[in-house]
Amino acid sequence: MGRIHKERHRTERIGWLRAAVLGANDGIVSTASLVLGVAAAQATRANILIAGGAGLVAGAMSMAAGEYVSVHSQADTEKAELERERAELAADPVAEQKELANIYVGRGLDAALAKQVAAQLMAHDAEGAHARDELGLSETQGARPIQAALASAASFAVGAVLPMLITAFVPMGALVPSVALTALVFLAVLGSVSARIGGAKVPRAALRVTFWGALAMGMTAGVGALFGAAV
**Looking at per-residue confidence, does 155 or 227 come out higher?**
155
Q: Is the pLDDT of residue 13 over 80?
A: no
Average pLDDT in the chain: 80
With respect to residue 17, please indicate whether it lies within any of the assigned structural domains. Answer: no
pLDDT tens by residue, 39-63: 888 889 999 999 999 999 999 999 8
For residue 59, give the nearest of 147, 164, 195, 184 by alpha carbon: 164
31/157 Cα distance (integer angstroms): 10
pLDDT at 160: 93
With respect to residue 104, please indicate whether it lies within any of the assigned structural domains. Answer: yes
- Whether the Cβ atoms of residue 137 and residue 81 lie closer than 8 Å to each other: yes
With respect to residue 11, please indicate whether it lies within any of the assigned structural domains. Answer: no
DSSP state for residue 13 in the 8-state scheme: G
With respect to residue 8, please indicate whether it lies within any of the assigned structural domains. Answer: no
Q: Is the pLDDT of residue 32 over 60?
A: yes
With respect to residue 91, please indicate whether it lies within any of the assigned structural domains. Answer: yes
With respect to residue 79, please indicate whether it lies within any of the assigned structural domains. Answer: yes
Q: Is the pLDDT of residue 202 over 80?
A: no
Q: Find the largest Cα–Cα distance for the chain.
A: 79
- C-alpha separations of 186 from 25, 27, 199, 211, 213 in Å: 9, 11, 20, 12, 10
194/10 Cα distance (integer angstroms): 11
With respect to residue 184, please indicate whether it lies within any of the assigned structural domains. Answer: yes
- Overall number of domains in the chain: 1
pLDDT tens by residue, 164-176: 999 999 999 899 8
Residue range of the domain that includes 36:
24-230
pLDDT at 168: 93
With respect to residue 18, please indicate whether it lies within any of the assigned structural domains. Answer: no
Provide CB contacts within 8 A for 49, sequence distance 6+: 164, 167, 168
Q: Phi/psi zone of residue 171: left (φ > 0), alpha (ψ -120 to 50 degrees), beta?
A: beta
pLDDT at 5: 43
17/151 Cα distance (integer angstroms): 9
Specify the pTM: 0.67
pLDDT at 92: 81
